[in-house]
Amino acid sequence: MAIVQRIQDVYRPVEERVKDLKEVERLFTEEEIKAQASRCADCGIPFCHGAGCPLGNLIPEFNNAVAAGDVRKGYDIICKTAFFPEFTGRVCPALCEASCTRNLNDDAVMVRQVEKHMIETAFKEGWVEQPAAVPNGKTVAVIGGGPSGLYAAEALRRKGYAVTVYEKKPKVGGLLRYGIPNWKLEKEVIDRRVTLLEEAGIKFVCNCEIGKDISADYIRKNYDYLFLAIGTPNARDLNIPGRDAEGIYLALDFLHGEGEKYNAKGKKVLIIGGGDTGNDCVGKSLREGCKSVLQVEFMPKPPEERSPSTPWPDWPYMLRTSYAHHEGGERRWNVSSKQFIVKDGKVAGVEAVAVEWEMAPNGRPIKPNEVPNSTEVIDADLVVLAMGFTGVPAEGIVKDLGLELTPRTAIIQDPSRNIYAVGDCANGASLVVRAMADAKAKVSKF
């Protein structure tokens, strides 16, 4: 019997995908997915399930079912632990795969795509339902309709609570909709699920910011429980000379802002920040026909292989090359931006210096040192700041509800007053799967 290898070409061809806004990942045939699921060794102690997946998905069990040709059984298995596999099946970095036993000396089993195949088959075959619940007479307001808010809402509804989700944007989805671009997650995928949640009885009130359109006090008095799922709205800025120049934007404004100023067509784009958000900004620049795109990062280039600081089955510290990096552009590390170069009020570039990092014995960077005489000017006529998020502001809803923040500005929930906090606002900016797993864990204690 031929040995099945992990499929490496998971994306549509670059020439095709940069010309549209459709999902970059290609579709897999039933046979391909079945063969990939059959690579699962069904380990005695499956680390993918315990150490890997924050939702505790029963990965070997659904792989077995799919490998045997029973997608329905696989779908029923994933439904035991996850409400929205269509989101994680598209955007999860697959923490489970990093802790797959095969990953010790081979390529990990392809779990995320199996997950997507099961849920998409389920939608196609009409298997997807939101189970009925017995009302318990209690009411909950969920503030924020991102993945953690949606997960908390559905988990509470299934326990019998009457749930209303308040969302300040025109539609729910949070960063699934207003952060992650369409080519990673098509927005119809969110609408399809939200329709089902609505039919199941969850009420959605959009264009409604709690603390502004409705007071936090009103919400507190009118609901038995409050779930804050407001994310981390504040982006980290780069307050160096020249910051006020035209043509310098925060990543979320660039990714979702409308108008010519946010369009990269014909421009030399500089992305400051080497994470996921920065990668998506590279993807957008290329789709819009930029002249060039350079992504710079202050930190050093991570090792090509798993660093000894993150041994298996931990999520590895190592170089990651996203879909966008296969599409074009250039990446550089060890770059510290000192000031923006401004001409006629518009950004014309960045003056930067090189840094060298002192490394710990385990291969992690600990201290940056500027390299003398390394000053250079990087030309750019559009600069995007993609340097992460700073947490939750102490004013607004947090202050109105008399809540406290951790030193890292995450909300400290107050169960004594029936106020809970879930997702990024409770833990710092992270991942969709972690935001949902946090909501799952907190509601499970109800």
Answer with the entry of ligand SF4, ligand FAD, none that 53 interacts with (C-beta below 5 to 8 A by kind): ligand SF4
Answer with the entry of ligand SF4, ligand FAD, none that 277 interacts with (C-beta below 5 to 8 A by kind): ligand FAD
Question: With CB under 6 A as the contact rule, which of the stretches 12-20, 37-45, 114-122, 421-429 interacts with ligand FAD?
Answer: 421-429
How many CB atoms neighbour CB 416 within 10 A?
6
Name 354's Cβ contacts closer than 8 Å, sequence gap at least 6.
334, 335, 336, 370, 371, 374, 376
Could you say whether residue 419 binds ligand FAD (CB under 6 A)?
A: no
Q: How far apart are CA 139 and CA 83, in angstroms?
A: 21
Answer with the entry of ligand SF4, ligand FAD, none that 96 interacts with (C-beta below 5 to 8 A by kind): ligand SF4
Q: How far apart are CA 350 and CA 77, in angstroms?
A: 52
Could you say whether residue 440 binds ligand FAD (CB under 6 A)?
A: no
Q: Which of residues 99-158 bind ligand SF4 (CB under 6 A)?
A: 111-112, 115
Q: Which residues is 166 bridged to in the sheet?
A: 143, 205
**Phi, psi (deg, nearest 5) at residue 245:** -60, 155
List Cα–Cα distances, 256 to 180, 187, 310, 390, in angstroms. 9, 13, 35, 20
Q: How far apart are CA 155 and CA 133, in angstroms?
A: 10
**Closest CB to ligand FAD among 86 and 167?**
167
Which two tokens mark 217?
């006090």
Q: Which of residues 25-54 bind ligand SF4 (CB under 6 A)?
A: 52-53
Could you say whether residue 273 binds ligand FAD (CB under 6 A)?
A: no
Q: Rg for the chain (alpha carbons), in Å?
A: 23
Name 85's Cβ contacts closer than 8 Å, sequence gap at least 6.
78, 115, 116, 118, 119
Q: Which of residues 59-88 bind ligand SF4 (CB under 6 A)?
A: 59, 88
Q: Which of residues 233-272 bind ligand FAD (CB under 6 A)?
A: 233, 255
**Closest CB to ligand FAD among 211 and 349?**
211
**Closest CB to ligand SF4 among 35 and 118?**
118
The answer, yes or no, to whether the previous bond of 313 is cis (omega within 30 of 0) is yes
Which two tokens mark 54?
């924050």
Q: Can you tell me which of 54, 74, 89, 174 binds ligand FAD, judged by CB under 6 A?
A: 174
Question: With CB under 6 A as the contact rule, which of the stretches 93-101, 129-137, 215-223, 281-289 interacts with ligand SF4?
Answer: 93-101
Residues in contact with ligand FAD by CB under 6 A are: 91-92, 143-149, 166-169, 174-176, 179-180, 184, 209-211, 229-231, 233, 255, 276-277, 280, 397, 423-425, 429-433, 435
Contact positions vs ligand SF4 (CB under 6 A): 52-53, 55, 57, 59, 88, 92, 94-96, 111-112, 115, 433
